[in-house]
Chain A
Amino acid sequence: MSQGRSKRLRVTASYLFLLAAALWSLYPAVWVVLSSFKPGKSLFSDTLVPKALTAAHYAELFRSGSLMFPTWYMNTLKVAVCSMLLSTLLVTLTAYALSRFRFPLRKAALSLMLVLGMFPGFMSMVAVYILLNEIGLLNTHAALIIVYSFGAVVFNLFVAKGFFDSLPKAIEEAARIDGAGNMRIFASIMLPLSKPMLVFVALTTFTGAWIDFIFASLVLRTKDKWTVAVGLYDMVHSYQNAYFTLFAAGAVLIAIPITLLFVYLQRHFVDGLTSGANKG
């Protein structure tokens, strides 16, 4: 009898705790979404739920000539999709070669990649900037795509390599006995098997390109080339809370695709992250 009551008490307490944690997790997001529908411009609000709702800020984002939000959105989409494709290709090639083949200097190359990943990224930004300037790629989206994609190789190599390591060697040998060459084994056996890993790499690069504001703001000099993250950061930086509701609307539009992708593919992300966390 008393055991049953203590159990009920424990379960109730657990639900209360989870409810509190859920409120804590959701509150900032809910607050931004509600603010984006709030009339007026300022941060200040006397009630949590606004008294009236309006979609005017969303409309203004797309109409305002000085904000260029639609252009930024398309730029971001272009950069993110291209980086995603290129980086997935590069990561797959590198990881596959380093995982399934043995050749001279292989261990050295692996150690080198490990060491490269430990340098703070900002250290190389200045040099990349000067290099891009030398070859005339400053203020272009191609520069972003190239830098993001090759950066992804360093970042994702060990996740991808760990995945290829886990594929059994027997499949490959069977195919070889059947007369398949290297190219065929790679394209028709290994690639289809590595779909979960490809999804992880593709999505981390896509989100990375979508939300990067540091390197993008360094490379993109004119407003019509900006990506949404650069534009949003500039909005907060230069207007502070004067255009707060507009910021909130922009934030919602930028966050929605990424958040949905994440929630939808959470399993892949967790698996990829845990295998990545063990890489050292």
Chain B
Amino acid sequence: MLSASAAAIVYFVNSLPNAIWGMTTLGTVPSRLVEIDGKFTHLSGDHSIRIMIQSLLVLFCLAVCLPAYIGAVKDAYRTGRHRDGGRTPPGFRQTLSYIHQRKFAQTLLILPGAGILFLTILPIVFMILLAFTNYSSPDHVPPGNLVDWTGLDAFAQLFRLKSWSATFIGVLGWTVLWAFVATATTFAAGLAVALVLSQKEIRVKGIWRTIFIIPYAIPQIISLLAMKMMFNGQFGPINQYLSFFGLAKVPWLTDPFWSKLTVIFVNIWVGMPLSFLLVSGVLSSIPQELYEAAKVEGAGRWQQGRIVTLPAVAFAIAPILIMQLAGNFNNFNVIYLLTNGGPANPEYQFAGHTDLLITWLYKLTLNNNIYNIASAIGILLFIVIAGFSILNYRHTRSFKDEEMMQ
């Protein structure tokens, strides 16, 4: 116990100044050519990004160990007081049973908490920090070059620099349009199917339901890659059918206008089942008496729908629609697997006509290594999603109702 805390203290005393130095400077020694014995050799300098991660690790470890250390000191002090008072201090066994009775929840949370701290929080902090550096290819990528803090330059570049801001506005515009159209179309399709199926004259509802769920059950990577083949302009079956009827081939995925139409169309196929399931759930919860009452008042089928069904669906579905809107805003799979953002737009920076902000972010990080701007976009996306969530906050069951169980 003592040696462990001693080791921890030695470790932090050694590494903390290093970590603080690393976080403030991100390395100072650039890689360079040095003349040794008349020959030029390449000496590697500081690797800014590794220094940053390692420093963050030290700081996070400190944040974990410091409270534990303080707790241990307090505990030792208490034990000492017990001894001084002539009582026997609680032994190991008592401590365990105390933890079991009083600190059960905290004990359960140790493992998940540690994992989330290092695998989720640390990476997010790291990426947020990147937005304030110049970490981007081609000029600021380690190990060849150093990375420096540059404040809000990445945001300034994104909003002010003509080439970047034009791409940002263009992609943002399409993302918003896409999110609304995709949500509206899938919802309309799901609502239509659910309404038709809910009529009491329709038989074998279970079988129909299973059929409509199938597009949702097939993994998206499979169905979307298959769709990509189906809409292939040269050999795809869709264009074959068209030419069978004597119609011209359509450049489904290669023309800016058609590709946008195709992704929305395919998204109806992908997203309809979920809307269908959610709407069906709402429909089945509408009390039958409401319809009876409307009928007694002389309402026809359409009027019943307008007076009873529509308000009920609209009321219950609002939070789900908002979440779907947020989901479509970041709908990576449909765009990435179907068009990969293409067709390319020569006026854009590393983006195509159908790229959403999220796919653009992906391309900037993993294909083009422009991390600082990608990270700035990520922060903006976070703000948008957070906005949607605040909008939904009133409907939060998990948060609101929890005191009911007391």
Contacts and interface: CB of A to CB of B under 8 A. Distances in A.
Interface of A: 7, 10-11, 14-15, 17-18, 21-22, 24-26, 28-29, 31-32, 42-46, 48, 90, 93-94, 96-101, 103, 109-110, 113-116, 118-120, 122-128, 130-131, 134, 146-147, 149-151, 153-154, 158, 161-162, 165-169, 181-183, 207, 210-211, 213-214, 218, 229, 232-233, 236, 241, 244, 247-248, 251, 254-255, 258-259, 262-263, 266, 270, 273-275, 277-280
14 contacts: A32-B222, A90-B111, A97-B105, A113-B116, A120-B361, A124-B124, A125-B365, A211-B221, A258-B219, A262-B213, A278-B319, A278-B396, A280-B389, A280-B393
Contacts, number: 274
Interface residues of B, number: 96
Interface of B: 49-50, 53-54, 100-101, 104-106, 108-109, 111-113, 115-116, 118-124, 126-127, 192-193, 196-197, 199, 201-202, 208, 210-223, 225-230, 232, 235-237, 240, 269, 272-274, 277-278, 281, 319-320, 323, 330, 332, 358, 361-362, 365-366, 371, 374-375, 378, 381-382, 385-386, 389, 392-393, 395-399, 401-402, 404-406
Given A118-B386, A279-B398, A134 B229 contact: no
A55 B216 CA distance: 27
B381 A96 contact: no
Chain A interface, DSSP helix/strand/loop, else mixed: helix
B123 A127 contact: yes
Nearest to B215: A25
Given A31-B230, A165-B405, A101 B104 contact: yes
Contact of B358 (A31, A120, A128, A236): A120
A274 B277 CA distance: 9
Nearest to B56: A127
B105 A28 contact: no
A278 B358 contact: no
A119 B193 CA distance: 34
B362 to A, nearest CB: 5
B274 A273 contact: yes
A274 B281 contact: yes
B211 A279 contact: no
Given A26-B214, A232-B225, A116 B109 contact: no
B320 A277 contact: yes
Contact of A255 (B53, B100, B219): B219
A253 B233 CA distance: 27
Given A43-B235, A270-B281, A263 B214 contact: yes
B112 A153 contact: yes
Chain B interface, DSSP helix/strand/loop, else mixed: helix
Contacts of B201: 7, 10-11, 14
Given A45-B240, A182-B104, 18 more contacts: A25-B215, A25-B269, A26-B211, A31-B226, A93-B108, A116-B121, A118-B385, A122-B358, A123-B123, A123-B361, A126-B371, A153-B112, A162-B397, A229-B221, A254-B219, A270-B277, A270-B281, A277-B319
Contacts of A124: 120, 123-124, 126-127
A14 B104 CA distance: 57
A161 B226 contact: no
A123 B378 contact: yes
A113 B106 CA distance: 16
Contacts of B217: 258-259, 262-263, 266
A169 B213 CA distance: 36
B221 A28 contact: no
A189 to B, nearest CB: 14
Contact of B401 (A128, A165, A214, A274): A165
Nearest to B210: A263
Contacts of B223: 28-29, 255
Contact of B269 (A24, A98, A153, A233): A24
A43 B232 contact: yes
B196 A17 contact: yes
A115 B361 contact: no
Greatest chain B CB density within 10 A among A46, A167, A218, A274 is at A274
A28 B366 CA distance: 31
